[in-house]
Amino acid sequence: MKNKLGEISLKDKIVKAYISHLLENGYKPNSIFEFCKKMKISEADFYEEFTSFSAIEQQVWKGFFTNALVQAKSEEVYDNYTVREKLLSFYYTWLEILKANRSFILRNFDQIKRPLCLHKNDEFTEFKHVFYDFANELLMEARETREVEQRAIPQIMERYPDIFWAKTMYILEFWVFDSSKSFEKSDTLIEKSVNTVFDLLARSPLDSLLDLGKFIFNNRK
Amino acid sequence: MKSQESIPTSKVARATQFAKAGVKVGTNYIKHYSKRIFDSSLTKEDLHTSNAADVYETLSNLKGSALKVAQMMSMDKSILPRAYSDKFAMAQYSAPPLSAPLVIKTFKKYFNKSPLDIFDKFDLNAQNAASIGQVHLAEKNGRKLAVKIQYPGIAESISSDLKMARPLAVQLLNLNDADIDRYFSEVEYKLIEESDYDLELKRSIEITKACAHIPDLFFPKYYPEYSSNRILTMDWIEGLHLKEFLDTNPSQEIRNKIGQALWDFYDYQMHTLRQVHADPHPGNFLMTADGRLGIIDFGCIKVIPDDYYDNYFALINPDTLNNDAEIKRIFWTLEFILKEDSPKQQVFFTDLFKKMIQLLGRPFDTHVFDFGQNGYVDEIYDFLEKVAKMPELRSANAARGSQHGLYVNRTYFGLYTILNDLKAVVNITKPVWLTPKHLQIKG
């Protein structure tokens, strides 16, 4: 991200330096002191932006997300997409960005707790936060366009963003281990899983059945 | 066209689709026979019609290999009751498309650009679906283009899809194991070849160039600069598919003109190029009101080896059929007769294949042939159906006739079927050595 003057912000500089240190050396910098010295910035400046290396990693994942979303939205047809297509479009762009950073991701992937969709990993905390905003925004739109059925049980409706998140983590994990040519299988997974989730959330025979059941229950003698 | 709401996801889900068809077919039989008790006028044809509708519905929910099987079955009228093949013929025109973001993504992968940036206009909704891809309408510099995009990952799923389609095919086609195996390995081979768009581009350009001189034919121009191994761009061709074309009641003259163009196209490929567009299903031909024929889709090209060519077409010349020694030699070479056969079987099969060849070669025995005459194609159809039911063939485990024969026979049968639907009268152009003596000009 660039600030108003067109300069790269200190935050982004730190992130960049951190990633290249990792890729070149294969391990985290020994200390923040050493890292700052190499970057020629003061420790105080560093702490202004981040409190730890782990916070940088969180920022990296968040960055992948925001970049993907900005790119997906910059496609002129994006606004005319259905919610289903918006999500698809996000995932495809996201994977492209991940592809450009695959070495970074694979480097510490064995330290991440798997399966991703069942564990809470610190790396993704920030990413998760912004993703939920995105998911809620999509779901709100989907309720308006009737792509997602308004169901009477709020406990279920509240869980919808969790489903999206779990799916995202599942796609990430699948992609990491995907060995197909130019990750075609991951593309197929995205296409099919997004369709499946939306089919499950849309109005289904089960909704009608529930509706009927409610009616019969209320009118029992 | 409305985008598909859902694609059956996992292998399990796809398998259930097939199972559904099986159950439905079963139910139709039960329905049929219980109705028959009360109404004896119900025919087998009615049953086939309701079966075909259900099977088609199921297959069209799947893509790729399964759709291809449906297409091939519809082409092989010889082994399918007519009601099935009519219904399956629909598979050649439409199947549900993939999402717009994936289309854009595929373009970005190969051209680093969105299709909306490459072309002046690009319709994100697919116009129609082929077995392994879908076709989009685009415009560039005032030219309408057809852009074919292959479904990602389809090439890898070919064999697993076919394995799932097998039980259904066994149930429907009622073939022996050897034939089914051959049928499926052929479909697999064809599909793998068809999924290679680089090859298709190369062949399309070659063949369209070679056939450019044939009157009343037209081909799309191909654009290598907008093509890759998953994307194929060509001119958008105007014209109607066979069924729609016939609905416009074209005159006999126009029908003949198109029929002649079709015959000449195949004659030239078969005898001069020795490689043929071995997929004469109606979806690949577009017809115009002024009697011209557009040909698309060169995904399946069959090269005919020389020794096969010499033997096979020697048979087509009616003069050869009177020469028993020669026939015997050719039948051995082409594997119509196998060394495991008992003398009785040998006689049986020689007779059978002789009849078949006489039948298929009948147009070659004249200068002008009326394909519209009632009965000729039906006669072939009845004959093949009768053959399919023969216990001698059913019990034979080995597949007969060489692999090439399958393509050539099917190509001719497909050709005859289309000509018959067109009710065209055609000048039978053919190489001199295929012309029987009584037709050759003396002196």
Q: With 50 as the cut, is the pLDDT of residue B40 above it?
A: no
pLDDT score of A69: 94
CA–CA dist A164, A37 (Å, integer): 41
DSSP assignment string, A54-106 = HHHHHHHHHHHHHHHHHHHHHSTTGGGS-HHHHHHHHHHHHHHHHHHTHHHHH
B275 in helix, strand or coil? strand
How many C-beta atoms surround the C-beta of residue B24 within 10 A?
Answer: 17
Mutate to test the interface with B, among A69, A90, A187 (most CBs of B within 10 A): A187
Tell the burial category of A216 from Cβ atoms under 10 Å away from its Cβ (0-12, 13-18, 19+). Answer: exposed
**B10 to chain A: closest CA residue:** A192
pLDDT score of B316: 79
How many C-beta atoms surround the C-beta of residue A219 within 10 A?
Answer: 7
DSSP character at residue B375: T
Supply the Cα-derived Rg of chain A in whole angstroms: 21
Alpha helices by DSSP H, listed for chain A, are: 10-25, 32-39, 43-49, 53-74, 83-100, 102-107, 125-144, 154-157, 160-176, 184-201, 205-218
Non-local CB neighbours of B121 within 8 Å, separated by 6+ positions: B138, B139
- Please, are residues B402 and B334 in contact by the beta-carbon 8 Å criterion? yes
pLDDT in tens, B277-302: 876 777 788 999 999 999 887 777 77
Q: With 90 as the cut, is the pLDDT of residue B338 above it?
A: no
Cβ-based contacts of A84 with chain B (< 8 Å): 99
Cβ-based contacts of B109 with chain A (< 8 Å): 182
Strand B293-295 relative to strand B217-218, pairing: parallel
Buried b (16+ CB within 10 A) or exposed e, A73-87: eebeebeebbbbbbb
CA–CA dist A99, A71 (Å, integer): 15
Non-local CB neighbours of A46 within 8 Å, separated by 6+ positions: A14, A32, A35, A36
For residue B199, give the nearest of B232, B221, B176, B166 by alpha carbon. B232
pLDDT in tens, A203-221: 888 888 888 888 898 998 7
- Please, are residues B170 and B111 in contact by the beta-carbon 8 Å criterion? no
The label of the residue with tokens 């009584």 reads: B438
Non-local CB neighbours of B321 within 8 Å, separated by 6+ positions: B315, B327, B354, B357, B358, B361
**B230 to chain A: closest CA residue:** A184
pLDDT in tens, B93-108: 334 467 888 888 888 8
Sign (positive/negative) of CA torsion B21, B25, B27, B31? Answer: positive
- Inter-chain touch B7–A195, beta carbons under 8 Å: yes
pLDDT score of A202: 86
CA–CA dist B323, B48 (Å, integer): 42
Q: With 80 as the cut, is the pLDDT of residue B251 above it?
A: yes
- Inter-chain touch A180–B153, beta carbons under 8 Å: yes
**What are B58's two structure tokens?**
């199921």
Supply the Cα-derived Rg of chain B in whole angstroms: 23
Lowest mean pLDDT among A111-115, B93-97, B264-268, B380-384: B93-97
pLDDT in tens, B341-354: 788 888 887 888 88
CA–CA dist B159, B192 (Å, integer): 9
Q: Chain B within 8 Å of A128 (Cβ-Cβ)?
A: no
CA–CA dist B37, A37 (Å, integer): 94
Mutate to test the interface with A, among B3, B4, B9 (most CBs of A within 10 A): B9
Cβ-based contacts of A180 with chain B (< 8 Å): 153, 156
Tell the burial category of A111 from Cβ atoms under 10 Å away from its Cβ (0-12, 13-18, 19+). Answer: exposed
CA–CA dist A125, A57 (Å, integer): 10
Preceding omega of A115 cis (within 30 degrees of 0): yes
Q: Using 50, 70 and 90 to split pLDDT, how confident is the model at A158? A: confident
- Please, are residues A189 and B165 in contact by the beta-carbon 8 Å criterion? no
Strand B275-277 relative to strand B301-303, pairing: antiparallel
For residue B354, give the nearest of B317, B383, B315 by alpha carbon. B315
DSSP assignment string, B383-413 = HHHHHHH-HHHHH--S--S-HHHHHHHHHHH
How large is the average pLDDT for residues B15-29?
A: 49
φ/ψ bin of B373: left (φ > 0), alpha (ψ from -120 to 50), beta (otherwise): beta
pLDDT score of B164: 67
Non-local CB neighbours of B199 within 8 Å, separated by 6+ positions: B193
Q: Using 50, 70 and 90 to split pLDDT, how confident is the model at B1? A: very low
φ/ψ bin of B223: left (φ > 0), alpha (ψ from -120 to 50), beta (otherwise): beta
How many C-beta atoms surround the C-beta of residue B260 within 10 A?
Answer: 21
Of B9, B104, B152, the CB nearest to A184: B152
Non-local CB neighbours of B244 within 8 Å, separated by 6+ positions: none
**What are B285's two structure tokens?**
């031909």
Non-local CB neighbours of A211 within 8 Å, separated by 6+ positions: none
Lowest mean pLDDT among A17-21, A198-202, B251-255, B407-411: B407-411
Mutate to test the interface with A, among B4, B11, B102, B116 (most CBs of A within 10 A): B102
Cβ-based contacts of A77 with chain B (< 8 Å): 100, 104, 116, 124
Report which secondary-structure segment, H or E, holds B137.
Answer: strand B133-140
Q: Using 50, 70 and 90 to split pLDDT, how confident is the model at A127? A: very high
pLDDT in tens, B263-274: 999 999 888 888
Top mean pLDDT of A3-7, B21-25, B244-248 is at B244-248
Residues 31-90 of A with CB under 8 A from B: 75-77, 81, 84-85, 88-89
Q: Using 50, 70 and 90 to split pLDDT, how confident is the model at B227? A: very high
The label of the residue with tokens 């912000």 reads: A9
User: What is this structure's pTM?
Assistant: 0.67
How large is the average pLDDT for residues B365-373?
A: 87
Q: With 70 as the cut, is the pLDDT of residue B87 above it?
A: no
**B125 to chain A: closest CA residue:** A81
For residue B222, give the nearest of B235, B238, B203 by alpha carbon. B235
Q: Using 50, 70 and 90 to split pLDDT, how confident is the model at B169? A: low
Q: Is the ipTM of this complex over 0.95?
A: no
How many C-beta atoms surround the C-beta of residue A208 within 10 A?
Answer: 10
Lowest mean pLDDT among A188-202, B39-53, B265-279, B283-297: B39-53
pLDDT in tens, B399-430: 566 666 667 777 887 788 888 888 899 998 88
Tell the burial category of B316 from Cβ atoms under 10 Å away from its Cβ (0-12, 13-18, 19+). Answer: buried
DSSP assignment string, B419-443 = HHHHT-EEE----GGGS-GGGSPP-
**Closest Cα of chain B to A96: distance in Å?**
9
- Please, are residues B383 and B356 in contact by the beta-carbon 8 Å criterion? yes
Q: Using 50, 70 and 90 to split pLDDT, how confident is the model at B363? A: confident
% of chain B surpassing 70 pLDDT:
66
Q: Using 50, 70 and 90 to split pLDDT, how confident is the model at B78? A: very low
Q: With 60 as the cut, is the pLDDT of residue A71 above it?
A: yes
Q: What is the dihedral of CA B57, B156, B199, A99, to 10 degrees?
A: 120
